Structure 1
Amino acid sequence: MVERESDDSTEPADVLVLRKGTHGVPIERYADALRDRLPDLTVRLARTPAAERELIRDAEFVTGMALEEDRLERAENLEVFACAYAGTGHLPMDRLEQQGVAVTNASGVHGPNIGEHVLGSILRFTRRFHVGDRRQRRREWRHYQAHELQGSTVTVVGLGAIGEAVCERLEPFGVETIGVRYSPEKGGPTDEVVGFEPDPFHEALARTDYLVLACPLTETTRGLVDRDALVTLDPGAVLVNVARGPVVDTDALVDAVRSNWIRGAALDVTDPEPLPEEHPLWNFENVRITPHNSGHTPKYYERLADIVAENARRFYEDSGVELENRVDF
């Protein structure tokens, strides 16, 4: 049995866990998962604001969902902040860079669950389960037409850990895949790779049956799926967005659904988010909305702890090995 450190102690911690959790799962599970993997290091959970302010003063290695400016001001010895999210746009990155703090993220943690979410969304539209649900509610035994995924073309925008997980799960279905990434010369797990330039991107859209957005939100991807993109898609195409809401022009999407420019959309993210109750997207039968839920998995803290514990070992062993998932400033 691993000895648990008292969370109310003010003794310095080798690894300090900040108190904010995610997905409704107690943050204690993350701290325990780290302790299981780091029996030779002191892992301490700062369970209150006061504990955070006190313990972060001497901490060299800190992990958490966020790092507020006032906490960073107190962090006199901080060398590594292991962000517990894949995205780091919410962090004070300029300040962290100025203070020489290395930042890592949780890239790869979401691959299996978001990959499954995307596959489920595609299959729902392929086999038109929403139509079956409606007929079951009406107790109506009447056949309806469906589609077949085999032979379709799936375009995946973003070939990071999530995009790769999507492609891996699509492989047994006999589809053609097109990847979109900043550096197409790097290739990827798809049959073809193109860049974000308008001409190759729109040429890919014209051949696409299912468009999966799994990219970060950047100046390049903001509004990427605009009116031109939606008109270029085949009317039988389906949009699946597990990236960020602003990657899609929401007004153009509403017009696309109303005017049958596309067959439908599965949206785990929206713009704005949360989606207001009166928004028209709620009312379309061929739009499937989930509340930014594709990231939920009971394995989140376990996968995150694997990454962060390995980085803590590398840090304290001074092995010279680069930290995993290190973020470039």
Structure 2
Amino acid sequence: MSDADAPDVLVLRTGTHGMPVEEYAAAIRERIPELTVELARTPAAEREKIANAPFVTGMTVDEDMVAAADALEVFACAYAGTGHLPLETFEERGVAVTNASGVHGPNIGEHVLGAILHFTRRFHVAERQQRRREWRHYQAHELQGSTVTVVGLGAIGQSVCERLDPFGVETIGVRYTPEKGGPTDEVIGFEGEAFDDALARTDYLVLACPLTETTRGLLDHEAFVTMNPDAVLVNIARGPVVDTDALVAALRSNWIRGASLDVTDPEPLPEDHPLWTFENVQITPHNAGHTPEYYERLADIVAENARRFADDPDAELENQVLP
């Protein structure tokens, strides 16, 4: 394929959440009819077409593919996280990298709210009794007046806070730069007495942060001992933000009321793992990110960036994480 035949946007073949990647390519094509958008549907097509493609989008790409991408200038990652990409290679090559930040806001915000209400009204108790055909009243909780701490105030954390606003809760936000403020009643950093104090008075702890050196193992044995025993953990971040052994010990010792886990460490969770056996643990298979609007929202970002790049290869791109 010559440079003249190269598409303006090349879409790689891997889809997500069982949705055909053709839908993603079509959504981009609808938004930028003036540009050529091509889907590489087979491994051979990917290897051939990426050689001359300046703007490529997909869920992932490996070192071998990048090595073959002689003309690559922009890689538009179709996930919000980019830790799985060969970022060092991209940086060495001067390739701009963007992500899908903001795409997940509504659906993950709703997932978190659902998990909180699940434990507030103790629906898991009702489900257990229903399976037994047992009509017996049980005590529940009330969300109003609770304290909810949201760790990470990016697009997802902000979406969670927006959806909590009508429920009359006190909110604490945790971010790297607390001086920037945020959509919560308080904003604190990740370390020190303020963070420990937040753990001690939190009723619902929502993890919505990226996995970094700071956040890896953030919830360890000491954190669970410090937490309010009536607290519920909701993790839609990454599994290793929580020390799994410490979580199991906390659940066994009643140091926390329960946990809703969309991510685990390890992941997938092995069939014989003890976390499956706790009645006060809700497990979803990394599913909070699913939404039927995923490709539409992602295409809004990617198509706009492709248009900017076509007009000016040095233009600043939305959601640019490199360089």
Q: C-alpha separation between the residues in 2 aligned to 1:183 and 1:236?
A: 29
Cα distance, 1:54 vs. partner? 1.1
Q: C-alpha separation between the residues in 2 aligned to 1:59 and 1:184?
A: 41
SS of 2:25's equivalent in the other structure is: helix
Q: Which residue of 2 aligns with 1:174?
A: 168
Which of 92, 103, 107 pairs up with 2:101? 107
Q: Which residue of 2 aligns with 1:134?
A: 128
Q: Which residue of 1 aligns with 2:148?
A: 154
Q: Which residue of 1 aligns with 2:46?
A: 52
Cα distance, 1:312 vs. partner? 0.6
Which of 3, 9, 16 pairs up with 1:22? 16
Alignment of 1:95-244 (within 5 A): 95-244=89-238
* TM-score normalised by the chain length of structure 1: 0.95
Moved over 3 A (4+): none
The 3 A distance-change label for structure 1 pair 99 and 328 is closer
The answer on whether the counterparts of 2:196 and 2:223 sit within 8 Å (CA) in structure 1 is: yes
Counting aligned pairs with the same residue, the percent is 77
Q: Which residue of 2 aligns with 1:90?
A: 84
Deviation per CA, 1:251-280, whole angstroms, max 9, x where unpaired?
A: 111111111101000000111111111111
Cα distance, 1:234 vs. partner? 1.1
Which of 279, 289, 292 pairs up with 1:285? 279
Q: C-alpha separation between the residues in 2 aligned to 1:319 and 1:97?
A: 16
| Structure 1 position 295 matched with structure 2 position 289 | yes
Q: Which residue of 1 aligns with 2:318?
A: 324
Q: C-alpha separation between the residues in 2 aligned to 1:217 and 1:113?
A: 20
SS of 1:291's equivalent in the other structure is: coil
Cα distance, 1:64 vs. partner? 0.4
* TM-score normalised by the chain length of structure 2: 0.97
Question: Once structures 1 and 2 are overlaid, which stretch shifts more, 118-127 or 54-63?
Answer: 54-63
Q: C-alpha separation between the residues in 1 aligned to 2:234 and 2:23?
A: 32
Deviation per CA, 1:19-71, whole angstroms, max 9, x where unpaired?
A: 11111111000000000001000000001111111111111110001111111
Deviation per CA, 1:122-144, whole angstroms, max 9, x where unpaired?
A: 00000000111111112111111
Matching residue's letter, 1:311: N
Q: CA RMSD in A?
A: 1.2
Matching residue's letter, 2:271: E
Cα distance, 1:11 vs. partner? 3.1
Matching residue's letter, 2:280: N
SS of 2:56's equivalent in the other structure is: strand
Q: C-alpha separation between the residues in 1 aligned to 2:263 and 2:61?
A: 24
| Structure 1 position 32 matched with structure 2 position 26 | yes
Cα distance, 1:319 vs. partner? 8.4
Matching residue's letter, 2:27: A
Cα distance, 1:75 vs. partner? 1.1
Q: C-alpha separation between the residues in 2 aligned to 1:273 and 1:162?
A: 21
